[in-house]
Amino acid sequence: MLGTDGTQKFLEPITWVEKVKNRIGFWYWINRKIVLHASQGNSFIVAYRAKNDSLSSPQSLYEYLVEYTFGFLGFLGVALSSGIGRRRSSEFKAANEAAEKQCLGERKNEMLYVHLLATSPKVQGQGYGGRLLDAIGDLADSQGRATWLISAGPHNVPFYERHGYKTIKDIIVGESDIDWKGGQIILPLMVREPRYVAVSGD
């Protein structure tokens, strides 16, 4: 089986803790974000509406409850993680925030964000991932909005480029962590500008 970024093998089977984390993540995304899937769930995408889109705020008491419960569980997850896990997560967060501020600035609030895209190795290369990505692009176009994402590595850049994304910055992490022996990790920040959608009468 391929690893989480599709480039390396898992050394250990997924633990029950990771299964619970994944289920909580999906419960949150399905209730609060845009989730599309294909091939009976073997390929899926999670995207966030633009922050200044009124639909991105909770619309009901239940959605408020989901939002705050997930926020609390996320805080608990970081607090209970190991020292290395906590350090990596804060390094990753700081590097991302700096890059987002520098490259997107206030514009980030107007943009859709692709949080996660994955296709099971058994159906990769059959066009599912690309079509799901294009569906989010079509939604962004219909709203006249740009979309951004952080690629899991340079290996996925050609795939995203074929779907209209351009790299605007390579975020680099891993350099300051003395426990990390794998060298620097490059995470390209990519943006897709909206395409003009013709409406009748144009």
Q: Point out which residues bind ligand COA (CB under 6 A).
A: 5-6, 43, 117-119, 124-130, 151-152, 156, 159, 162
Name residue 140's amino acid. A
In angstroms, what is the minimal distance from the CB of 113 to ligand COA?
A: 12
Which residue number has the CB closest to ligand COA? Answer: 129
Residue in this structure with the two tokens 């639909």, named with its chain if needed: 55
In angstroms, what is the minimal distance from the CB of 41 to ligand COA?
A: 13
Pick between residue 124 and residue 143 the one whose CB is nearest to ligand COA. Answer: 124
Pick between residue 53 and residue 161 the one whose CB is nearest to ligand COA. Answer: 161
Pick between residue 86 and residue 195 the one whose CB is nearest to ligand COA. Answer: 195
In angstroms, what is the minimal distance from the CB of 26 to ligand COA?
A: 16
Pick between residue 66 and residue 139 the one whose CB is nearest to ligand COA. Answer: 139
In angstroms, what is the minimal distance from the CB of 54 to ligand COA?
A: 28
